[in-house]
Amino acid sequence: MFSLNTKVLVVDDMLTMRKIVIKHLKDLGFTDIVEAVDGKQAYSVLEAASPPVQLVVSDWNMPNCTGIELLKKVRHDARFAKLPFVMLTAEAEAHQVKEALEARVTGYVLKPFTKETLQQKLEAAAKAAA
């Protein structure tokens, strides 16, 4: 599992969903959580964060820059190429999962989800990123 001091970036254009994810993360013990409303803002947060963001939990469908676009951008930037990136999305069609895997997503959480599911997926992502 990720250390509870891990700096987590939560990206979702929906305020309610950001609040749900942040609540679950806090319930799991995470304390250092930052947020962004789309991929564009998320990338700015990644570039500016000090200490650096160590885990991204991102929605897929967002205006300006989608989650998959953010993932691809991150993987093409040497600074963030190995940053654990968990996609949290309602999109479950095979071609979308394939696209995320090809873009080297670390984990994939399907909405709707529980706190327990998020925990399991983060544990798996931590192992995959190790």
Residues within the interface to other proteins (CB under 8 A): 14-17, 19-20, 23, 61, 89-93, 111-114
Q: Which residues, at least 6 apart from 68, have a Cβ–Cβ distance to it below 8 Å?
A: 60, 87, 96, 99, 100, 103
Say which residues have a Cβ less than 8 Å from residue 14's Cβ, sequence separation at least 6.
Answer: 59
Nearer to other proteins, 113 or 124 (CB): 113
Question: Which CB sits closer to other proteins, 83 or 100?
Answer: 100
User: Closest distance between other proteins and the C-beta of residue 12, in Å?
Assistant: 9
Task: Output the smallest distance, CB 117 to other proteins, in A.
Answer: 8
Q: What is the CA radius of gyration of the chain?
A: 13
Is 14 or 48 the residue whose CB approaches other proteins more closely? 14
Per the CB < 8 A criterion, the answer to whether 68 and 103 are in contact is yes
Half-sphere exposure of 98 (CA within 13 A, CB side): 3
Taking the complex as a whole, the smallest distance from the CB of residue 52 to other proteins amounts, in Å, to 28
Q: Is residue 118 exposed (0-12), middle (13-18) or buried (19+ Cβ within 10 Å)? A: buried
Our CB check for other proteins shows the closer of 75 and 115 to be 115
**Contact (CB, 8 A) for 106 and 67:** no
Least separation, in Å, of the C-beta of 61 and other proteins?
A: 7
Residue 50 beta carbon to other proteins: minimum distance, rounded to whole angstroms: 29
54 or 113: CB nearest other proteins: 113
